[in-house]
Amino acid sequence: MGHNWINGEWEQGNGKRLEIKNPATAEIEETVFEADDLQVKKAAESAYLAFSSNSWRYNFKLRKKVLEKAASILEEKAEKVATIESIDTGKPIKEARVDVEDVVHCLRYYAGLIPDSLSKTLKMEDGTESEIKSEPIGVCGLIVPWNFPLLLGVWKLAPALAAGNAVVFKPSELTPMSMIEFTKALIEAGIPDGIFNFVIGGREVGQAIVENPMVKKISFTGSVETGKRIYQRCAEDLKKVSLELGGKSPLIVWNDVDIEKTAEWAVFGALFNQGEVCVAAPRLLLHQDIYDPFKKVLLEKISQVNIGDPLKEGTEFGPLISESHVKKVTAYIEKGLEGGASLLYGGKVLAEKKGYFIEPAVFEEVDQSMEIVQEEIFGPVITLQSFETKEEAVELANGTNYGLAAGIFTESSERGRWIAERLEAGIIWINSYHTPYVDAPWGGVKQSGIGRELGPEGLISFTEYKHVNKSVSIDSLGWYQFKR
């Protein structure tokens, strides 16, 4: 069996051979083959023909049935899929289980949003009647990264399919295995041939999807640099685009908090999924009155984080995704030291372990202009800065090109609201962090992206509006009525 699902059949890719490695052991777990340009073209053509047949786009009951059944199938296979996700990405198994639970919930949520009709009728002042229709866009290209391949994949797939679109889906070439299992669930659930197509590959495959004229929308999650290239290329054909890009999120800690509990949240905010999270909060902004005691507790808690085999129940921190990513993170640590920052903790590669393990790193004495403060490292590198006033906290928090997420910890609801209103971020948590809610929008501002996923907004982003105006009589004067 091949690993690419195109027009209702499994195909072996005609492109280059890929070795899928377990980041915890650096050993090869699976070998797959990328799709080539012709296979991507075939996937787009089959999606276009399946969409054009109207058997999916106008069959609301079928769409609901497929999403609900896929959710049930995945729920039954939850432990198997979570294990695959943990091996594929290096994330602790307990986190992978939560991902699968969230995926099941997401599928059922969007199945529940599928209405019996996507139109409404309005009576206009001139006596005419207008029908406002919400229609699917057509063929959508969905491209997801390696850190949450299953969850982020379904965040796009569920609303795209619920809205009646056909899909060409590309996972990261580093982590395709859990989405292969999800593809099997969709097939078993009865997804029509051609409506969902799955192609494996790297940048070339992604580029082929973006450039295909039959693909009318691109939804991409990944780096700012790649997002900009996609945006520029889509502008040539005026394709619709949704981009969920990088982040360098701040966590603001006021002097009225419980230090022990807030430090736990800070560790979670910065180190969840090894810090390989777009909304991770590696920039800790601490009120000067609690800077020293908070730092002490924070370092104690980081030193107690259990680093190890992601398949073991007690593991809290697994390996990074690849050897090249370890090199990227350690290069940033070196830049921090060269720039004059003080390394308080960690930052060492754990050479005694077989996989791609590294200690979390904590810096202080950092300047706002430093690369470790300004750039998304996408790994476990934390910076500490102090502030005195609300205004200073907001200025530091907003002082990067990113605007995806932010966190605020304070006992004052008024202060929390005041700060939140002034933060340039699409997602803000007050006295918690990281939790996504499927019924609320997710996305960023500035260079963190365009558009929103999740919630009703996520469904709307995969639709077009059509206005059909009907006159009750042909006796009207047309444009002559304006000659007054």
Active-site residues: which are they?
A: 244
The token duo for 336 is 């921090």
396 in Cβ contact with 285 (< 8 Å): yes
Judged by DSSP in three states, 247 sits in coil
| Residue that the structure tokens 């750039």 belong to | 375
Pairing between β-strand 139-143 and β-strand 166-170 as defined by DSSP bridges: parallel
Distance, first Cα to last Cα, the chain? 72
Rounded Cα–Cα distance for residues 17 and 185 (Å): 25
Rounded Cα–Cα distance for residues 368 and 330 (Å): 20
Q: Which residues contact 102 (CB under 8 A, 6 or more apart)?
A: 151, 436, 438
Task: Give the sheet arrangement for strand 4-6, strand by strand.
Answer: 9-11, 4-6, 196-198, 166-170, 139-143, 215-221, 240-244, 449-450
Please provide the DSSP assignment of 24-57 as one string: TTTEEEEEEE---HHHHHHHHHHHHHHHHT-TTT
Q: Which residues contact 198 (CB under 8 A, 6 or more apart)?
A: 4, 5, 6, 169, 170, 171, 179, 180, 183
Q: How far is CA 9 from CA 1, 43, 182, in A?
A: 9, 11, 15
